[in-house]
Chains A and B, each alone.
Chain A
């Protein structure tokens, strides 16, 4: 038994490939737990960052700097009354949030956090991700229809049209990146997520800069389409607050509504990880070509630890600046505790065995975090597109450009 459990540790593949069910389960737990935590953290971060964009403070009351706000929100949503409209189609109404949630969580099976840090490595990895994430549109349509109400119906119609339209451009952009993986001696490419990153490793170049500016344009198309796919500003028409109150989830409340939110944020992280994998080098650390050698490897492997120590330092500054009033004692202790945990994580990250195992995951998550920040930034900056304009951008701009990029990439691939 113990042998079976430890047998995976010496292998150099993902648990799914090694066929080790125990470790696969552990990975699934870790990844899904991690994504759930990331969604909660993202919830807090979005409110905080958005607030600072908008000269507000954001959540400040629950815990120091509102750190416990997501937990308070979760408790509130869980204990809220669950309302099902009397005219709704009960079964479909019940099923819709589950579909969205399942679709956006299932894709994490193939997300490569590192060369061995993925639940499994399917040889149709990217296809699997696109396919499963495209299922979430079903949930949206079902939610809108089952509510049996006008606003959700219009929201669902918009959403299905939007997601299908942008999937086309998105798919073509992805294909042009996949085409780049075949530029090796054997001439065979790969659809596996890990294989795609390894192709970038062996070609010593992020696909973002491949055939400049072709890779860049393809990436840009994907970056736009992925915002539209996840129904986020400026493409948040399906849930356009000022027009359709809340779009397809207008009639949802409490736990079911929170499932939609969970699904939405999980999908955001998922598409960001596709973008990171395909164009920005996945788990590779920055500048693997310019800053080579033992020393630089060491320097980059120390960054995660220093980052967490820095965060702990900021938390301690916050502790020092807390008002010295008995009212704030709990908050101060809480923030100090939070800082201490961050600092401890930072120290653990300095330990050589941890350092080596964790740095791939760190760089991957850091790159995804940049995309998540972009999502917040867009939301604070842009007005919302109108439906016909959205369609025009999708079909008349992104689609022709992505086809052009695909053709040019193929030509370049043959010539060079």
Chain B
């Protein structure tokens, strides 16, 4: 089945992503920022769908929008918002920020211009139906070691969190 209105959806979703990204950093109210971030993540999930990666899109929604962002909101709700709103929103290190932005932007631009020729063999081949299976094979086959290392790292993080929170109990 052929996708419909691809270009429109791409610009639509990208626009939402960029807009919500700007909202995240400009909102005074932390809860509004978090909501904008959720919108951005959902739009990103849409972009994944357009890249024939439904599994990644689904995981994005479950983990980021449904899980992590809820925890974010959870913490933000407990924080005293009035005090946070009075604090200064942007820090004064604009020089560093500018440099980082220029570097990142240059990198992205370079990839956009030269990417096609640099990584010819890695232009994504859309596989419509076996996408999920391929991710499984990749994660648990080709990159098994990296995957296990990452999970160990998470385990360390969990233990650290427990040790820190244990003080309270």
- Seen from chain A, the residues whose Cβ lies within 8 Å of a Cβ on chain B are 17, 19, 89, 92, 95, 122-124, 127-128, 130-132, 134-135, 137-138, 141-142, 144-145, 153, 156-157, 160-161, 163-164, 167, 171, 188, 191
Contact = CB atoms under 8 A, between A and B. Distances in A.
A94 to B, nearest CB: 12
Query: Which residue, of B29, B38, B128, B132, has the highest number of chain A Cβ atoms within 10 A?
Result: B132
B162 to A, nearest CB: 12
A138 B74 CA distance: 10
Given A124-B132, A156-B77, A161-B74, A167 B66 contact: yes
B35 A92 contact: yes
Nearest to B73: A141
Given A17-B1, A134-B62, A135-B61, 19 more contacts: A19-B1, A124-B58, A127-B55, A127-B62, A128-B54, A130-B62, A131-B59, A131-B65, A134-B65, A134-B66, A135-B66, A137-B66, A138-B65, A142-B35, A144-B77, A157-B77, A164-B67, A167-B66, A191-B132
B77 A92 contact: no
B62 A160 contact: no
A153 B77 contact: yes
Nearest to A21: B4
Query: Which residue, of B69, B70, B78, has the highest number of chain A Cβ atoms within 10 A?
Result: B70
23 contacts: A95-B35, A123-B54, A123-B128, A123-B131, A124-B132, A127-B54, A127-B58, A127-B62, A130-B62, A131-B61, A134-B62, A134-B66, A135-B66, A137-B66, A138-B70, A141-B73, A141-B74, A142-B31, A142-B35, A160-B70, A164-B67, A164-B71, A171-B62
A236 to B, nearest CB: 19
Contacts of B91: none
Contact of B129 (A123, A135, A138, A153): A123
A110 B131 CA distance: 18
B133 interface: yes
A158 to B, nearest CB: 11
Interface in B11-70: 29, 31-32, 35, 38, 54-55, 57-59, 61-62, 65-67, 69-70
A360 B35 CA distance: 41
Interface residues on B, range: 20 to 34
Contacts of B65: 131, 134-135, 138
Contact of A160 (B61, B73, B131, B132): B73
Contact of A131 (B29, B62, B74, B131): B62
Contact of B73 (A17, A130, A138, A191): A138
A137 B77 contact: no
Query: Which residue, of B29, B61, B129, has the highest number of chain A Cβ atoms within 10 A?
Result: B61
B122 to A, nearest CB: 24
Query: Which residue, of B54, B55, B130, has the highest number of chain A Cβ atoms within 10 A?
Result: B54
A269 B66 CA distance: 20
A141 B73 CA distance: 8
Contacts of A191: 55, 132
Contacts of B73: 138, 141-142, 145, 160
B58 A128 contact: yes
Main SS of chain A's interface residues?
helix
3 closest cross-chain pairs (CB), A and B: A134-B66, A127-B58, A131-B61
B58 A141 contact: no
Contact of A157 (B62, B74, B133): B74
B61 A89 contact: no
Nearest to A18: B1
A167 B63 CA distance: 11
A122 B61 CA distance: 15
Query: Which residue, of A92, A131, A160, has the highest number of chain B Cβ atoms within 10 A?
Result: A131
Given A122-B54, A153-B77, A134 B61 contact: yes
Given A19-B1, A123-B132, A153-B77, A141 B70 contact: yes
A160 B54 contact: no
Contacts of A157: 74, 77-78
A135 B58 CA distance: 12
Contacts of A167: 66-67
Nearest to A103: B66
A318 to B, nearest CB: 46
A138 B36 CA distance: 12
Nearest to A140: B70
A145 B62 contact: no
Contact of B77 (A17, A124, A141): A141
Contacts of B55: 124, 127, 191
A163 to B, nearest CB: 8
B77 A127 contact: no
B144 to A, nearest CB: 16
B133 to A, nearest CB: 6
